[in-house]
């Protein structure tokens, strides 16, 4: 599953980079379906970062990789 998550994050990355940010995959726990990422650049201190994680990254990973992903955390 980690490879699928990484590939999907590569699809998401250009959208974040357009706004001066980026995302790095830290870990994928297949036991409890938790994905850990690190937001970088403009995304680090952005007030909308939580919304980006939930509505952007988490939703895309659930749709494209695994609907059982419980959470994406930074």
Average pLDDT, the chain: 92
CATH class of residue range 2-73: alpha beta
Q: What are the pLDDT digits (tens) for 1-36?
A: 899 999 999 999 999 999 899 999 999 998 999 999
pLDDT at 60 over 90: yes
Is the Cβ–Cβ distance between 9 and 46 less than 8 Å? Answer: no
Is the Cβ–Cβ distance between 61 and 47 less than 8 Å? Answer: no
As a whole number, mean pLDDT of residues 39-62 equals 89
Binned at pLDDT 50, 70 and 90, residue 58 comes out as: very high
Instruction: Count the helix, strand and coil residues of the chain and give each as a percent rounded to the nearest 5.
Output: 45, 25, 30
């Amino acid at each position: 599953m980690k490879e699928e998550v990484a590939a999907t994050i590569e699809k998401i990355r250009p959208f974040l980079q357009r706004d001066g940010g980026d995302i790095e995959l830290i870990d994928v726990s297949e036991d409890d379906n938790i994905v850990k990422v690190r937001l970088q650049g403009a995304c680090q201190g952005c007030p909308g970062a939580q919304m980006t994680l939930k509505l952007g990254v988490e939703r895309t990973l659930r749709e494209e990789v695994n609907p059982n992903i419980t959470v994406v955390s930074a």
